[in-house]
């Protein structure tokens, strides 16, 4: 299974590809989609859509794993993040990918073991889990890899529950 993890952001969106079977996985690639803050928001959404579409075309993932929306004190930021997530989810659907969404707290708890882990802790655990020489940079890309890793851990549990339900 090949998973595209996405950490949504309107200025910097992180993406990471992880592949494997069961709980054995490895990093394939990671990066960011950067937009200019002064660029009209609709143009930023188009850039995100187009650049992420190229990532999907190049790496052919099976699953799109996305960070869920979280509580933000700034309503404008929350709305923009929601629009970015909408563009990403639409792209995933149009590309025929299975879509999974995880809360930031669950991602950190799964990868680091602590739901309030900071960016440095997430980067270091991603480095260790994927056996990388250096921490993935920037943190947006490390977060995207963490989101993909989270899906590996939780999709296995979902499969076991589903299989058990079918047997009974």
Catalytic residue from among 19, 51, 140, 143:
140
Q: 140 an active-site residue?
A: yes
62 is annotated as an active-site residue: no
Q: Which among 62, 67, 68, 101 is annotated as catalytic? A: 67
Contacts for 129 with CB less than 8 Å, ≥ 6 apart: 111, 149
Q: 14 Cβ partners below 8 Å, 6+ apart? A: 5, 6, 7, 30, 31, 32, 138, 139, 140, 141, 142, 143, 144
Has 50 been annotated as catalytic?
no
Burial class (CB in 10 A: 0-12, 13-18, 19+), 95: middle
Active site amino acids: 7, 67, 140
């Amino acid at each position: 299974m090949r998973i595209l993890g996405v950490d949504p952001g309107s200025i910097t969106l992180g993406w990471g590809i992880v592949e494997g079977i069961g709980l054995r996985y490895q990093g394939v690639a990671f990066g960011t989609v950067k937009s200019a803050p002064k660029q009209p928001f609709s143009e930023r959404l188009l850039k995100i859509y187009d650049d992420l579409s190229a990532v999907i075309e190049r790496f052919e993932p099976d699953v799109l794993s996305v960070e869920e929306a979280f509580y933000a004190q700034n309503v404008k930021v929350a709305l923009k993040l929601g629009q970015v997530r909408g563009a990403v989810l639409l792209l995933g659907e149009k590309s025929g990918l299975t879509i999974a969404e995880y809360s930031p707290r669950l991602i950190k708890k799964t990868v680091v073991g602590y739901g309030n882990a900071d960016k440095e802790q997430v980067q270091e655990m991603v480095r260790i889990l994927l056996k990388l020489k250096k921490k993935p940079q920037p943190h947006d890309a490390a977060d995207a890899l963490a989101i993909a890793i989270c899906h590996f851990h939780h999709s296995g549990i979902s499969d076991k529950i589903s299989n058990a339900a079918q047997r009974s």
